[in-house]
Amino acid sequence: MTYPTFPVNSPKFPLIPIISINSHESFQIVMFPKFPSLSFHGKFPESFQKFTGRCPFHSLYAFVFLHGQSNLQPWINTSQSQDVALPRLSIVRQHLADVITQHLRPEDSKSVIFECNPGSGVLTRTLLKAGAKRVVGLEKNMGYFHNLKQLERQSNGRLEVHHCDFFKLDPIGDGEVKPPSMYSEQLFTDLRISEASWTDDIPVKVVGILPRNNDRSRLLKLVYALYQQLSVYRYGRIELNLFLREKEYQKLISRPGDMRGYIPFCVFWQIACDIELLHKVQYDEWWRRTFTDSLTFSGNPLCLVRLRPRADLFTAGFSPFNAFTLLLMIKQCLAKRKSKLIDMLNLWSPESGSLLLSQLSLPEDILTGCVYPEDYLKLFRLIDASSAFSHSWLYEEFLENTERMGWA
* pLDDT band at residue 21 under the 50/70/90 scheme: very low
CA dist., res. 158 & res. 102, Å (int): 19
CA dist., res. 383 & res. 57, Å (int): 52
Structure confidence at residue 290 (pLDDT): 33
Residues making up the annotated binding site are 91, 139, 165
- Percent of the chain predicted with pLDDT > 90: 57
> Model pTM?
0.75
Strand pairing of 112-116 and 135-139? parallel
Residue that wins the pLDDT comparison between 334 and 177 = 334
CA dist., res. 197 & res. 358, Å (int): 35
* pLDDT band at residue 102 under the 50/70/90 scheme: very high
Model confidence at 206: pLDDT above 90: yes
Structure confidence at residue 60 (pLDDT): 37
CA dist., res. 65 & res. 51, Å (int): 14
Over range 7-27, report the average pLDDT: 37
- The mean pLDDT value of the chain amounts to 77
CB half-sphere exposure, 137, CA atoms < 13 A: 30
Model confidence at 10: pLDDT above 90: no
Alpha-carbon dihedral 225, 229, 234, 240, rounded to 10 degrees: 50
Q: Examine residue 171 and say whether the peptide bond preceding it is cis (omega within 30 degrees of 0).
A: no
pLDDT tens profile 211-236 = 988 899 999 999 999 999 999 999 99
Mean pLDDT comparison of 19-33, 267-281, 379-393, highest-scoring range: 267-281
pLDDT tens profile 53-97 = 333 333 333 333 333 333 332 222 333 334 333 457 788 889 999
* pLDDT band at residue 316 under the 50/70/90 scheme: confident
Domains and their CATH numbers in the chain: 1-86 (no CATH), 94-309 (3.40.50.150), 323-399 (1.10.8)
Helix (H/G/I), strand (E/B), else coil: 183: coil
Element (H, E) at 261: none
pLDDT tens profile 242-269 = 999 999 999 999 999 999 999 999 999 9
Outline where 143-245 has alpha helix (H): 145-153, 184-190, 215-227
pLDDT tens profile 149-189 = 999 999 999 999 999 999 999 998 777 888 899 999 999 99
pLDDT tens profile 282-298 = 866 654 433 333 333 44
Residues 6+ apart with CB under 8 A from 146: 74, 75
Residues making up the annotated binding site for S-adenosyl-L-methionine are 91, 139, 165
